[in-house]
Chains A and B, each alone.
Chain A
Amino acid sequence: MADLGVSICGVRLNNPLIAASGTFGFGREYSEFYPLEALGGISCKGITLQPRLGNPPPRIAEGKNGILNSVGLQNPGVDRFISEDLPWLSEQNTAVIANIAGNTVEDYCQMAEKLSDSAVDMIEMNISCPNVKHGGVAFGTSCESVGNITRAVRERCKKPLIVKLSPNVADIADIARSAEAEGADAVSLINTLTGMRIDIETGRPILKNNTGGMSGPAVFPVAVRMVWQVKNAVKIPVIGMGGISTWQDAAEMLIAGADALQIGTVLFNDPYAPIKICRGLSDFLDRKGLKSVAELTATIKPW
């Protein structure tokens, strides 16, 4: 049987499936279904230096094959994450990735320092959140700002640093190169695409924030294309995400160039999706005569 384990920046994952930030909280709710070691890792709900209330509801809208969200980084703050959630999470035999977001470069640096002395395995820098007024995606849309923030955080971060990229940019491969050049240990992509839905009876947007971040099966082809482009642009590991909902999607994203995967929206419909995807992927690797996930990564044969 094929080995589903993967290694990202020296961290060994049980399998390539990481729960995507914002869809899995800090893991407790999903541990009711299965032991969290069924996952390769958990990218925790995005945390900020200070606690955040988040945006007013409604915070979710549905589209054909996708959803929009505008949660706005509701979270208890980095200190409470470290004291209240991390002790439990770090005992679940799965890699723990802290996802950090901030208003300023200094916010990110301070959080990276605090987390460097904690039990987290990796830090994912969220410079692509479309739902907050300050910071968030603003850091992630130009090569210069991505380079600057990556350099600053890298200097003060002792954990492997993943930079999470926004798809709402002109050339995501250029952005990835900037992150790599300034010391990112890996990149993850794609964060959500900015979108909107409107109630035609009232003329009001469904989301109180008017716009939100789109995820789910509808964004999958965009994500596959971007993962392929980024893989061709950088040497550091690429964590692929965006609408993966079946083992076939997972295989496709790996073939496109992903070294590991994140899954999110599918969990809302099927909390057991990670188990099913792992089983399907394992059978697929066996059928193809491959001994590990790494043997499938970036095996795309472009025309």
Chain B
Amino acid sequence: MKKYDSQLFELVKKREIAPDIFDFTLKNGEIAKITMPGQFVHIAIPGMVLRRPISVCDVENDCIRIVFRIKGEGTRTLSQAKIGDKFDLLAPLGNGFKVEKGKTYAFVGGGIGVPPMLYSAKQADRAYAVLGFANKDAVILCDDFRAAGCETIVTTDDGSFGIHGFVTDALRDIIDKIDGVCACGPIPMLKAVAELCRENGKPCQVSLEERMGCGIGACLVCACKTKSGDGVEEYKHVCKNGPVFNAEEVVWNG
């Protein structure tokens, strides 16, 4: 059995769940079967030289679900796909969050960093979902996290929905009840979450993104600076060593 492959997927369900944010369900049983929480897919988009890496939001039976935001030409083209269209996905790629049995985790997502947390949260025995958005219009997937059994807390930057504040404000309130944190979102948010975890002695895993080439660790472009226990710095690669890293090893301004 291959660890990953480039294969065709069929778009079987599509919905715009917030302005410019799309929820796609793509069918390929062989790949869906081996896809783990926190991994990503690398999608070939007609007319683009490079594939686009997008995190797996969920896996159900023969299908992989991805939720992405239109960011440029590639994701715009992808958003215009029709049901029945076929896409070449290189998948599943990367390493996901390590979720241990019997422990309580907080799954912290910010904006388009929320979708990658869903499938991972489903693996935990006890989970909080702490989801942060810019405003009410940008709120996505809350019902999915609740349906997955997560105690779900939502924050918005402008207070138009849920708690007025950042995910760290909500995380601080529950930090004593959890054993670890898994997070994905903008770098300033991840830095703040990692700092809060460090202060409270909680292990923190973060999912990072970087402009990517091959997706499998051969071209070395998606570099992330890391530091080992003895202080030696090196560039690891988001596609192969990540996208999930222990927050302690990430050099945030690298």
Contact = CB atoms under 8 A, between A and B. Distances in A.
A209 to B, nearest CB: 11
Given A60-B211, A270-B44, A53 B234 contact: yes
A59 B50 contact: no
Interface in A67-121: 67, 69, 71, 74
Nearest to A59: B221
B235 interface: yes
B223 A268 contact: no
Interface string B181-214: 0000000000000000000000000000011111
A47 B6 CA distance: 29
Interface in B195-254: 210-225, 233-235, 240, 254
Contacts of B3: 32
Interface in B1-59: 2-6, 44, 48-51
A271 B6 CA distance: 8
Contact of B214 (A61, A63, A216, A267): A267
Contacts, number: 106
Nearest to B73: A62
B44 A22 contact: no
Interface size class of B (residues with CB under 8 A): 20 to 34
B235 A54 contact: yes
B216 A269 contact: no
User: Which has the most chain A C-beta neighbours within 10 Å: B3, B211, B215, B218?
Assistant: B218
B154 interface: no
Contacts of B49: 62-63, 65-67, 216-217, 265, 268-269
Contacts of B235: 53-54, 57, 74
B211 to A, nearest CB: 4
Contact of A67 (B4, B210, B213, B220): B213
Contacts of A67: 49-50, 213
B90 interface: yes
A177 interface: no
Interface in A37-60: 45, 53-60
Contacts of B44: 269-270
Given A268-B50, A269-B51, A58 B219 contact: no
A23 interface: yes
B225 A56 contact: yes
B214 A23 contact: yes
Contacts of B51: 268-269
Nearest to B42: A268
B211 A29 contact: no
Contact of A57 (B88, B218, B222, B233): B222
A58 B224 CA distance: 9
B6 A59 contact: no
A33 interface: yes
B213 A57 contact: no
Contact of B218 (A23, A66, A270): A23
A65 B3 CA distance: 29
A25 to B, nearest CB: 4
B210 A58 contact: yes
B234 A57 contact: no
A30 B3 CA distance: 11
Contacts of B215: 268
Contacts of B225: 56
B232 to A, nearest CB: 10
A24 interface: yes
B213 A268 contact: yes
Given A56-B225, A268-B213, 4 more contacts: A65-B49, A71-B220, A267-B214, A268-B51
Closest 4 CB pairs of A and B: A25-B218, A60-B221, A59-B221, A29-B216
Interface of B: 2-6, 44, 48-51, 88, 90, 210-225, 233-235, 240, 254
